[in-house]
C-alpha cells in the first residue's frame, strides 16, 4: 500500500486540496500499477507563521511582497 505525505502552506481552498489529493492518488496508482483503493495520501497544512525559508516565515515574506 503506497503512502504519500504532502506538506503545504495553509490557506488553499477545499476544492484545490481535494483536486491535489485526487491527482496525486491517480498518479501514484498509474505509476506503480496498483489499484487506486490501495493508495493513501496524507495532506498536512502548516500555518504560514510556522514555515520559514531563509530565516523568514512565509507570513513575513508575504507581508514584504505587499
51, burial (CB in 10 Å: exposed 0-12, middle 13-18, buried 19+): middle
pTM of the model: 0.86
The CATH number for 38's domain is: 3.30.429.10
Number of domains in the chain: 1
Which residues participate in catalysis according to the annotation?
A: 2
Q: What is the pLDDT of residues 10-65, one digit of tens each?
A: 999 999 999 999 999 999 999 999 999 999 999 999 999 999 999 999 999 988 88
Q: How far apart are CA 62 and CA 66, in angstroms?
A: 7
Q: Which domain holds residue 19?
A: 3-65
Amino acid at each position: 500500500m503506497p503512502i504519500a505525505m504532502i506538506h503545504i502552506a495553509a490557506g488553499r481552498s477545499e476544492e484545490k486540496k481535494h483536486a491535489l489529493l485526487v491527482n496525486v492518488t491517480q498518479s501514484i496508482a498509474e505509476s506503480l500499477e496498483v489499484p487506486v483503493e490501495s493508495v493513501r495520501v496524507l495532506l498536512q497544512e502548516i500555518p504560514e507563521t510556522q514555515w520559514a525559508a531563509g530565516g523568514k516565515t512565509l507570513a513575513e515574506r508575504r507581508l514584504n511582497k505587499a
